[in-house]
Amino acid sequence: MLGALAVVGLLISGYLTWVHYAGVVPVCVGGSGGCETVQTSSYATIFGVPVAALGLVGYSGLLLAALLRGEASVYLGLLVALVGTLFSAYLTYLELFVIHAICEWCVASAALMVGALICTAFEAWRLAKAP
Amino acid sequence: MLLALIVAVAILVAALMALLSQLGGAGGGSSASSEDVGKLYSGIPQNGTTLGKSSAPVTIYLYEDFQCPVCGQFSRKTFPEVVDRSVRGGKVKVVSEPLTFIGSDSVPAARAALAAGEQNRYWPYAQLLFQNQGKENSGYVTDEFLKSQAENTPGLDVGKWSSDLKVSSVTKQLQAAQAKAQSAGVNATPTLIFSGPGGQTKLVGLYDYEQVSQAIAQVE
């Protein structure tokens, strides 16, 4: 389950990272240009690094956690999912209250991160319960 | 407890990333500060909505709406290079034709830019409008929003700008731009019409500098 979420997240982050470097406009359902507004806002990059690339790193971490066995990988997954969810919440706040535009790809990624958090939290809880 | 430690570390890391995002947000090549806007246009003559030397052989007529997202992208990503590599050297001048078809908010935004043009600060003001562009027709074009861009425009007298918002010259320029768009068959923004001794050509939509310079070469 975590692996599947991570793969979809990688696809979305990969697409947005490519969009940034290719200088193209992201596909946007709803036709209101929200995706462009968000992706070209000053919040879309941190010191020149597109936020989508951070997503690539995060989802890779989750995929790794999903593929490995053992305690360490459970805690790695939980840490990455927590950071990812918190940061996604901050980015969503920016979309709603600062940029005043919604990018559906970002919303999808935030949802995936929350899903990943639920999975990893469940795994960690199971680990804590086991004798 | 390990779990508590993980949660604490996660909160710390996320907070750090949020902080960096606030600080380093402009590092992606887009200039969001008023010093950057001032630097881009320093030394280049501005006359109302015209940017560049009046003797420049090639003219780019830039039909744009300040609420148009693709116009915003063009302004943030491609236009600085056009200014640096084609306008500064005196080969090209750009004339902005502000259109207001996207929505009612487009009108005050265009009027505000034209008011800045009365002091020959149209271009830095327009760039700030695009740097801080919100979602079209979301109501982000408030008086405070427009005034804040004026305050950040280097060399602009905000008091005079404020009274110029209502002058009839601004209204006439808006109507003239509208009429020009109709007669030129412009029905989408951004539309760039290149005109020079070698003829005319048109680009509609978002283009990179390579494509713009090819169009310039076509009409030289």
Q: What is the pLDDT of residues A49-108, one digit of tens each?
A: 888 888 999 999 999 988 888 888 888 899 999 999 999 999 998 888 877 778 888 899
The verdict on residue B211 lying in a domain is: yes
Q: To the nearest whole angstrom, how far is the Cα of A34 from the nearest Cα of chain B?
A: 6
Residue B153's pLDDT is: 87
* Residues in B lying within 8 Å of A, measured between beta carbons: 2-3, 6-7, 9-11, 13-15, 17-18, 20-21, 24-30, 32, 68-70, 72-73, 76-77, 131, 133-136, 138, 140, 206, 208
- For chain B, what's the residue count? 220
The verdict on residue B24 lying in a domain is: no
- Cβ–Cβ under 8 Å, residues A45 and B28: yes
Q: Which residues pair with B50 in a beta bridge?
A: B47, B95
Residue with tokens 């969810």: A85
What's the sign of the alpha-carbon dihedral B92, B36, B29, B187? negative
The chain B residue lying nearest A40, using CA atoms, is B73
Superfamily of domain A2-129, CATH level 4: VKOR domain (1.20.1440.130)
Q: What is the mean pLDDT of chain B?
A: 88
Residue A38 pLDDT > 90, yes or no?
no
Quote the tokens at residue B136: 């079209």
The verdict on residue B1 lying in a domain is: no
- Cβ–Cβ under 8 Å, residues B78 and B207: yes
- Residues of A in Cβ contact (< 8 Å) with B13: 83
**Domain housing B164:** 33-219
**Closest among B80, B150, B75, B70 to B109, alpha carbons compared:** B150
Instruction: Please tell me the total count of domains within chain B.
Output: 1
- Residues of B in Cβ contact (< 8 Å) with A54: 17
Phi then psi for residue B51, to 5 deg, are -115, 125
- Residues of B in Cβ contact (< 8 Å) with A79: 6, 9-10
The CATH number for B44's domain is 3.40.30.10
| CA end-to-end span of chain B | 72
Distance, in Å, from the CA atom of B76 to the CA atom of B193, rounded to the nearest integer, reads 19
pLDDT digits (tens, 9 = 90+) for A91-128: 998 888 877 778 888 899 999 999 999 988 888 888 87
pTM (whole model) above 0.80: no
Residue B100 pLDDT > 80, yes or no?
yes
The residues, any chain, with a CB within 8 Å of residue B58's CB and separated by 6 or more, are B86, B91, B92, B93, B194, B195, B196, B216, B219, B220
Residue B179 pLDDT > 70, yes or no?
yes
**Closest among A124, A87, A93 to A109, alpha carbons compared:** A87
The verdict on a CB contact (< 8 Å) between B21 and A46 is yes
The verdict on residue B213 lying in a domain is: yes
**DSSP letter for each residue of A76-121:** HHHHHHHHHHHHHHHHHHHIIIII----HHHHHHHHHHHHHHHHHH
Which residue among B15, B138, B208 sits closest to A100, beta carbon to beta carbon?
Answer: B138
Which residue among A42, A75, A102 sits closest to B26, beta carbon to beta carbon?
Answer: A42
Residue B29's pLDDT is: 36
The chain B residue lying nearest A98, using CA atoms, is B134
**DSSP letter for each residue of B25-61:** GGGGS---SHHHHHHHHTTS-EETTEES-TT-SEEEE
The verdict on residue B102 lying in a domain is: yes
The verdict on residue B14 lying in a domain is: no
What are the extents of the domains in chain A? Answer: 2-129
The verdict on residue B125 lying in a domain is: yes
